[in-house]
Amino acid sequence: MKLTTKGRFAVTAMVDLALRQTRGPVTLAAISERQHISLSYLEQLFGKLRRASLVSSVRGPGGGYNLARPAPQITVASIVTAVDEPLDATQCGGKENCHDDKRCMTHDLWATLNEKMYDYLSSVTLADLVAHTSGKPVAVIKDFRPEKEKVAA
């Protein structure tokens, strides 16, 4: 499973933006300072987020970034995929050539994990993460246990 700093930083920066945009556009310099993420790295990430229509930019004095959609309409999966972060636990990238150019014995396990991971990240919104900053656990917000565990609970 490969979720690198690119995806993590993008999600962190988006939460920071969502928390502060009510006071007007948020500068990347301010996010950089608060979150200890390099400004040049944020510029790269926000270019991708803007192209994916997740953020909008405001030029000039007092400029910065705003969310392009309401926070409940932005999923973690959309943020991660916008910055080209692969959500893939397979060794073969889904090509089924992981073991001597053949499908490995555990391919379906990792492919299913990919689906579950994407489903979960698609179920968590930016609004959920903002709520989490005020003490509401994300796991409670989105009950993602398998059906048989939900019945037993």
Q: Name residue 94's amino acid.
A: G
The total number of structural domains that make up the chain: 1
CATH of the domain at 20: 1.10.10.10
- What are the pLDDT digits (tens) for 9-56? 999 999 999 999 999 999 999 999 999 999 999 999 999 999 999 999
pTM of the shown model: 0.79
Res. 150 pLDDT band, cuts 50 70 90 = low
Q: What is the band of 1 on the pLDDT scale with cuts at 50, 70, 90?
A: very low
Model pLDDT for residues 76-99, shown as the tens digit of each residue = 999 999 997 677 766 666 666 666
Find the domain containing 116 and state its range. 5-152
